[in-house]
């Protein structure tokens, strides 16, 4: 094969990689992107998008199921619904396929050349790609590593048979009657709650004293309440130990040291994600590490000149929108612009029921910096939330006590993921409590809770 030479080579076409390549192409940079799978990476193909499709289907099924019981306060009655998970998965796959095509089209429109195959470094400027038609050598002035992350596999619960990863869970043809979830973080609870709504008997096994430990207890309380309502058993301080001899149960050591078996048709392991740093010749180049991740500076430069790294492979927070922002920045740096990473906030959303949103500092983190003001407004006092049967939750604003600079914003409630943009913007623009309180929010919307929380922090909330 004839060698390819380019100014910029991007390895990995996930959210960070494809955004980097598209932006570079728009700026006239001769760009090549290499991807072993389909464009879109984990997020589009087996993560963010397909999981939200499954979560939405589960929500709709649960709503109709309640109506079939004649218990709907809306006065709607229907016959008992039936879920065809195979059809649901096919619908989800259709969405993914459309987005795959969309990303491929955007890369082409930006003038980016796509090479399908697995890339391996030969040196800091050269990569060999194993394609269907042979080995393709690519030489580049600058290389961006955007190889992403993969689910962590437990040595005593290797994936296969009844033990599944989040990727496998999104491709099941039928709802398991009994599902054990190892790990009570956001992935485990998002999928666990979805399958509970679809009719599975779900048990969550979490080694820590509480679920969603990355969030504060006040914020997660409505989610814990909902887990109980859904009939999900949560075992805290419990450790998974392996499969039973018959392979039909999960062996667990409880908080008091007892050994129990949790009957399960499927065991979903969601104990975190690890960077994909093996299999592509990292040993051929000398990059500094930050633990298991690739170490970068505020411009996403690695320790080797001409090599950048973005996204999950560089560490937390492992969020698609962080990778996208990094990719856009790197493309502009390569094109000659002056850019650096200076983000006040990277919002994070947990699509449990109810949803969680965090942006900026938590109350505890803010307290460590000095005296603060906190304003909390409950959705039980919000008209729009009440009309959606979504009264359980709140918006909370954390600000400095002296100048009222907003340091953090959190929310829990039905549909609050859509408030993430407003939260992020407020922090990025350096808003103060008075800025949010003085912004006229449309009525009736859940967004009014944001304004009311700021008013509460200032000492004069109007509706509580």
pLDDT digits (tens, 9 = 90+) for 18-41: 999 999 999 999 999 999 999 999
Of 158, 247, 162, 260, nearest to 205 (Cα)?
260
DSSP 279: S
Of 385, 401, 397, 412, nearest to 215 (Cα)?
412
pLDDT score recorded for residue 404: 98
**C-beta of residue 287 within 8 angstroms of C-beta of residue 294:** yes
* Residue 353: pLDDT band with limits 50, 70, 90: very high
Bigger pLDDT: 92 or 66? 92
**C-beta of residue 30 within 8 angstroms of C-beta of residue 139:** no
Residue 435, H or E segment: helix 433-437
- Residue % of the chain over a pLDDT of 70: 100
Q: Where are the domains of the chain?
A: 4-46+89-151+274-334, 163-271, 348-458
- What is the distance between the alpha carbons of residues 61 and 63, in angstroms, rounded to a whole number? 5
Predicted confidence (pLDDT) per residue in 142-157, tens digit: 999 999 999 999 999 9
pLDDT score recorded for residue 324: 98
**Fold exhibited by the domain 163-271:** FAD/NAD(P)-binding domain (3.50.50)
**C-beta of residue 144 within 8 angstroms of C-beta of residue 310:** yes
Residue 1, pLDDT > 90, answer no
C-beta neighbour count of 242 within 10 angstroms: 15
CATH hierarchy code of domain 348-458: 3.30.390.30
pLDDT score recorded for residue 286: 85
Mean pLDDT of 341-366: 95
Residue 69, pLDDT > 80, answer no
pLDDT score recorded for residue 282: 87
Please identify every residue annotated as catalytic.
443
Of 321, 357, 347, nearest to 427 (Cα)?
347
* Residue 433: pLDDT band with limits 50, 70, 90: very high
- What is the distance between the alpha carbons of residues 324 and 19, in angstroms, rounded to a whole number? 6
Predicted confidence (pLDDT) per residue in 105-150, tens digit: 999 999 999 999 999 999 999 999 999 999 999 999 999 999 999 9
In the numeric block, the tokens 């890339």 are attached to 119
Q: Which tokens in the block code for residue 151?
A: 């689910």
Residue 91, H or E segment: helix 85-109
3-class SS of residue 133: coil
Query: What pTM, to 2 d.p., does this model score?
Result: 0.95
Predicted confidence (pLDDT) per residue in 181-214, tens digit: 999 999 999 999 999 999 999 999 999 999 999 9
pLDDT score recorded for residue 276: 96
Predicted confidence (pLDDT) per residue in 259-312, tens digit: 999 999 999 999 999 999 999 998 889 899 999 999 999 999 999 999 999 999
Q: Which tokens in the block code for residue 256?
A: 């008091």
* β-sheet bridge partners, residue 178: 201
Mean pLDDT of the chain: 96
* Residue 2: pLDDT band with limits 50, 70, 90: confident
What CA dihedral angle connects 147, 152, 156 and 158, to 10 degrees?
-60
- Residue % of the chain over a pLDDT of 90: 96
Backbone angles phi, psi at 251, to 5 degrees: -85, 130
pLDDT score recorded for residue 44: 96
Count Cα atoms within 13 angstroms, Cβ side, for 154.
18
Residue 375, H or E segment: strand 372-378
**C-beta of residue 43 within 8 angstroms of C-beta of residue 166:** no
Mean pLDDT of 225-236: 98
Q: How far is CA 77 from CA 65, 66, 458, in A?
A: 10, 9, 45
- What is the distance between the alpha carbons of residues 50 and 133, in angstroms, rounded to a whole number? 31
**C-beta of residue 208 within 8 angstroms of C-beta of residue 237:** yes
Mapping DSSP onto H, E and C, the string for 168-201 reads: HHCCCCCCCCEEEEECCCHHHHHHHHHHHHCCCE
Q: Nearest-5° angle of CA 127, CA 316, CA 190?
A: 110
CATH hierarchy code of domain 4-46+89-151+274-334: 3.50.50.60
Asked whether this chain's domains 4-46+89-151+274-334 and 348-458 adopt the same fold, the reply is: no
Predicted confidence (pLDDT) per residue in 308-348, tens digit: 999 999 999 999 999 999 999 999 999 999 999 888 899 99
C-beta neighbour count of 26 within 10 angstroms: 18
Backbone angles phi, psi at 385, to 5 degrees: -60, -40
- What is the distance between the alpha carbons of residues 455 and 433, in angstroms, rounded to a whole number? 7
Residue 289, H or E segment: strand 289-290
């Amino acid at each position: 094969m004839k060698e390819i030479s380019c100014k910029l080579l991007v390895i990995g076409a996930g959210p960070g990689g494809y955004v980097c390549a598209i932006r570079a192409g728009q700026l006239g940079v001769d760009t090549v992107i290499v991807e072993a799978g389909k464009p879109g990476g984990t997020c589009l193909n087996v993560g963010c998008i397909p999981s939200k499709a499954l979560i939405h289907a589960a929500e709709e099924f649960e709503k109709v199921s309640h109506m079939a019981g004649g218990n709907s306060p809306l006065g709607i009655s229907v016959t008992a619904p039936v879920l065809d998970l195979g059809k649901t998965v096919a619908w989800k796959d259709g969405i993914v396929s459309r987005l795959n095509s969309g990303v491929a089209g955007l890369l082409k429109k930006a003038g980016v050349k796509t090479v399908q195959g697995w890339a391996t470094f030969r040196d800091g400027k050269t990569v060999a790609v194993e394609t269907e038609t042979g080995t393709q050598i690519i030489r580049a002035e600058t290389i961006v590593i955007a190889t992403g992350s993969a689910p962590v596999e437990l040595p005593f619960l290797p994936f296969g048979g009844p033990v599944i990863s989040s990727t496998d869970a999104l491709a099941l043809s039928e709802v398991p009657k009994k599902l054990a979830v190892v790990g009570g973080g956001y992935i485990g609870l998002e999928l666990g709650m979805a399958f509970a709504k679809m009719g599975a008997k779900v048990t969550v096994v979490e080694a820590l004293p509480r679920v969603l430990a990355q969030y504060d207890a006040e914020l997660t309380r409505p989610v814990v309440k909902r887990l109980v309502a859904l009939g999900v058993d949560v075992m805290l301080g419990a450790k998974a130990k392996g499969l039973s001899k018959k392979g039909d149960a999960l062996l667990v050591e409880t908080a008091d040291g007892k050994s129990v078996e949790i009957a399960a048709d499927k065991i979903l392991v969601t104990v975190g994600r690890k960077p994909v740093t093996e299999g592509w010749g990292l040993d051929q180049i000398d990059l500094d590490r930050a633990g298991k991740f690739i170490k970068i500076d505020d411009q996403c430069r690695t320790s080797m000149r001409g090599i950048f790294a973005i996204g999950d492979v560089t560490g937390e927070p492992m969020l698609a929108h962080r990778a996208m922002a990094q990719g856009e920045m790197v493309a502009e740096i390569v094109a000659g612009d002056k850019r650096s990473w200076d983000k006040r906030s990277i919002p994070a959303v947990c699509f449990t029921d109810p949803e969680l949103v965090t942006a900026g500092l938590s109350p505890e983190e803010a307290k460590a910096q000095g005296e603060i003001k906190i304003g909390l407004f409950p959705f039980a006092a919000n008209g729009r939330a009440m009309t959606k049967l979504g009264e359980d939750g709140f918006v909370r604003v954390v600000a400095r006590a002296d100048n009222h600079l907003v340091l953090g914003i959190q929310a829990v409630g039905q549909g609050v993921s859509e408030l993430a943009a407003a939260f992020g913007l407020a922090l990025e623009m350096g808003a103060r409590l008075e800025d949010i309180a003085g912004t006229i929010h449309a009525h009736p919307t859940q967004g009014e809770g944001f304004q009311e929380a700021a008013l509460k922090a200032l000492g004069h909330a109007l509706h509580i």
